[in-house]
């Protein structure tokens, strides 16, 4: 009991300290803009210089096996200090380029979403068009002339830090709110980390877990379970990640009322534009068959967060699911199509949908209307559908515009799990490798605090 209280105190204190730091940084950036940036560069140069001195000392007095590494780090850090000292306009132009590039990507994503919605004759396309024009209008001057726009960039960055700090302050306050009050709070706007950072969060966590646990395989998949309450969760959110291709960016599924619900571009014949666009496909399947399939077939690690729902929240989710499934019609993967024509199928089908059906008996559906007819990895994706189902219930999870990634879900749900009064009541990790269950649980427990 004392350990739980200390964890909550640590997480609450961390949120408060981070919020104060971000709010102060944001205010200073808004007031001083580019002038403050030069001072920050000087501080950054001094920090690297002190690090170089430390590595130089370790070169002479440290372990022999680390001498070469310390010398290399010292040399590279000193070289970096010299470059920053003589060419301070280089980092000054990099920030507008990165920020402008990020806004440019968002603008292009909005433009692609608009084209998809226009093709599907779906509501909301004008908002996507205006958002695209807005993002592109701001980003192009930053990319084409970064130095001239440094004050604007620093000002916007300060505003972002300020909003993010207020968000962490809100998290600190929710640690203190009793559960009976928190359940009455409506879904709120959240300021998330930039999408290019949150996109890699599941893979980063996976890499750290794989580093901490032994890499020798054992017979049963590794499961680490931790629950805050004895009651079973009413809904689970699966956040996938893997070492392979686009799987590094993750995927999100829901488990509700005895079935897994997943959305993606599972029809290989419709996939185009570097596998980023395709027909939107929903499948439902058995949880106990699906998790081993994800681990064995796709070499994935699954982070599973359990949610405890009220009766009203369940009714709202049921209504949203009824509405969703009213837009669906059954679709047959190539293997199922061949099976319907002949009882014996001699040809092997290696597309994901066919393999999934053969291993789990999944049922597949396509949309006959709505914005999810076409899947787009940076638009109508798995996270958007999950957010649609969860969000309309009034649950305090996510509400964001722009790019929603599986990393966004992991980062938010993991933080909510650490709170005393959150509806996120369990966190499970499923993996295929570990030294042994007992030691792995101990390592992951320490990792996940």
- 233-260 pLDDT, tens digit per residue, is 999 999 988 765 555 567 999 999 999 9
Using CA atoms, how far apart are residues 390 and 393, in angstroms rounded to an integer? Answer: 6
Question: Which of 107-111, 154-158, 314-318, 435-439 shows the lowest per-residue confidence on average (mean pLDDT)?
Answer: 435-439
The mean pLDDT of 38-66, rounded to a whole number, is 71
Can you list the alpha helix ranges (DSSP code H) found in 299-393? Answer: 311-325, 334-341, 352-360, 382-391
Q: What is the DSSP track for 98-125?
A: HHHHHHHHHHHHHHHHHHHHHHHT-TTH
- pLDDT of 339 higher than 80: yes
What pLDDT does residue 362 have? Answer: 97
The mean pLDDT of 268-294, rounded to a whole number, is 92
pTM of this structure: 0.65
- pLDDT of 185 higher than 50: no
What pLDDT does residue 45 have? Answer: 73
- What sign results for the dihedral spanned by CA atoms 257, 421, 320, 167? negative
Using CA atoms, how far apart are residues 432 and 200, in angstroms rounded to an integer? Answer: 20
Pick 3 or 104 by higher pLDDT.
Answer: 104
What pLDDT does residue 265 have? Answer: 92
The mean pLDDT of 369-392, rounded to a whole number, is 86
């Amino acid at each position: 009991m004392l350990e739980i209280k200390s964890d909550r105190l640590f997480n609450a204190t961390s949120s408060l300290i981070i919020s104060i730091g971000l709010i102060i940084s944001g205010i200073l950036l808004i007031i001083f803009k580019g002038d403050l940036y030069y001072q920050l560069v000087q501080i950054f140069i001094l920090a690297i210089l002190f690090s170089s001195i430390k590595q130089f000392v370790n070169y002479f007095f440290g372990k022999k096996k680390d001498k070469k590494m310390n010398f290399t780090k010292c040399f590279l850090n000193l070289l970096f200090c010299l470059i920053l000292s003589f060419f301070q306009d280089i980092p000054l132009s990099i920030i507008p380029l990165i920020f402008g590039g990020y806004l440019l990507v968002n603008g292009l994503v909005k433009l692609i979403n608009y084209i998809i919605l226009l093709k599907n004759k779906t509501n909301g396309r004008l908002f996507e068009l205006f958002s695209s024009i807005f993002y592109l209008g701001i980003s192009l001057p930053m990319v084409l002339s970064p130095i001239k726009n440094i004050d604007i960039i620093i000002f916007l960055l300060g505003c972002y830090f300020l909003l993010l700090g207020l968000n962490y302050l809100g998290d600190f306050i929710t640690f203190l709110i009793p559960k009976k009050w928190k359940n009455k709070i409506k879904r709120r706007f959240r300021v998330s980390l930039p999408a290019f950072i949150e996109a890699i969060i599941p893979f980063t966590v996976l890499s750290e877990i794989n580093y901490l646990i032994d890499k020798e395989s054992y017979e049963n998949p590794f499961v680490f379970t931790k629950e805050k309450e004895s009651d079973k969760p009413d809904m689970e959110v699966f956040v996938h990640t893997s070492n392979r291709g686009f799987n590094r960016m993750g995927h999100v599924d829901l488990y509700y009322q005895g079935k897994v619900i997943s959305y993606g571009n599972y029809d290989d014949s419709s996939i185009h534009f570097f596998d980023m666009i395709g027909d939107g496909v929903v499948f439902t399947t058995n949880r106990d068959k699906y998790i081993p399939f994800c681990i064995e077939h796709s070499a994935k690690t699954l982070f599973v967060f359990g949610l405890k729902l009220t009766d009203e929240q369940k009714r709202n989710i049921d209504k949203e699911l009824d509405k969703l499934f009213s837009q669906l019609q059954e679709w047959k993967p190539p293997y199922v199509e061949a099976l319907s024509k002949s009882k014996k199928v001699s040809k092997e089908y290696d597309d994901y949908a066919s393999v999934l059906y053969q291993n789990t008996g999944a049922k597949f559906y396509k949309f006959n209307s709505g914005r999810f007819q076409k899947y787009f990895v940076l638009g109508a994706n798995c996270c958007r559908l999950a957010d649609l189902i969860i969000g309309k219930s009034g649950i305090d999870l996510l509400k964001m515009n722009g790019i929603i990634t599986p990393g966004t879900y992991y980062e938010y749900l993991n933080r909510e799990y650490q709170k005393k009064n959150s509806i996120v009541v369990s966190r499970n990790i499923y993996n295929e490798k570990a030294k042994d269950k007992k030691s792995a649980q101990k390592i992951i427990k320490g990792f996940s605090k």
